[in-house]
Structure 1
Amino acid sequence: MSFAGRIRPVVDRVYIGVRAASRERVMAVYAEHGVKPGFEGSFYFGLLARPMPAESFAAVTSYGSGDMSAELASGTAEVGADGTWRLTERGRAVAMAVQEKIGEVAAQRWRPGPPLDAMLPGVDAWERLADLVGRLLDAGRATGGPAFRAMAPVYEPEGAPAAVRLTTRLGALRHHRADAHRAAWRAAGLTARQVMELPAGAERRAIDAETDRLDQPIYDVLDARERIELLAGLGALP
């Protein structure tokens, strides 16, 4: 198995775990602003930095309907004649608050405390992990597809703490693999629905292997020791 294949579940566990743990605070953000959850909550790391072109929007919504009626109705997003989506001022306020709350929850979730304080990575480790993932995002500019290009470079407030930077960068990193996966199943002649319904077996293994192959170049910017450091550091987070 390639390194890309080995680290994928680790990245997903850390990021999805933080997102699940932060759900209550994120929902409170939406309640405070009087809007329903929308795409700004899923793609804040890219949308706060730049508009999302039509090609990128089609990529990130390839497994769903792409219905943006709620965002348009609430005034958090607007679309241009060319299909480019951008956040409004209201949408930016919501997205920035979501980013902040996810980082706050991550810091609380990851912070060492008794009785495991000697076993868990602290803030210095989060800083190092954020730096390593930042290098991956820089490298991904050469190999990423339309979704990744919309997500990186990420938006980070000036002086953002390490937990905010790491969660933000991990969110964007996952889209490099998402682009690789879409390319793999399209090359196999499948549709999004077909690949979602594909049972375990040789065909799914072949698509996963091709996904790993296409995702691997982003990690080649790190040497062997740095790859182990990244895998072990993320794996040690609660």
Structure 2
Amino acid sequence: MLVNSEQIIEALIQTIQMVGFSFIFSIIIGLPLGILLFVTRKGQIIENLPVFTVLNAVINVFRSVPFIILLVAIIPVTRLIVGTSIGTSAAIVPLVFYAGPYIARLVESSLLEVDKGVLEAADAMGATPFQTIFRFLLPEALSSLIVNFTIATIGLIGASAMAGTVGGGGIGDLAITFGYQRFDTTTMLITVAILIVLVQGLQSFGNILSKKIRRG
């Protein structure tokens, strides 16, 4: 049986849901972690080497585990949170565990690009650490953050496709169920084309938005 347009649309919607919700939750986790990584580094505004060392190690551990292994390894946690290990909602949990630490590292990288003069100016004006972060650091790093968030979103699209190997739904599940297991070359080409369009569209949007913010 060949795949039909309704199945393709449904799979696309599932992929958008997985990526969208995973990105939101990953930002909620990764943004504060990335900020904490930066401000607790040696010589930064809230230097705290024990906190930095522990947080840095934990993030490195999660980033060292390939997504396909993480997907299976945290099945008990996934079942505990959403009540099942199969389907679109279940795929969101490992996607957040995968992308959250990644985004934290990207946020740290963006903040490290901010000119030290910005921090010196904030200090000269008597800004508190909170004010330094939200009125100086983040606005200055916004263009870089947009680029890095775009990269993270594209990574989530690729990971969501891998979630199809365990029945996660979406384009990846369609590609495996029809394209691979049933040797349907047409479906495989369609799914690849959809993923390419999604990635290209997101990358272009991210680049345009970043340039507008930088010029502004």
**TM-score using structure 1 length:** 0.29
Going by fraction, where is helix more abundant, 1 or 2? 2
Q: Which is greater in Rg?
A: 2
Per the normalisation by structure 2, the TM-score is: 0.31
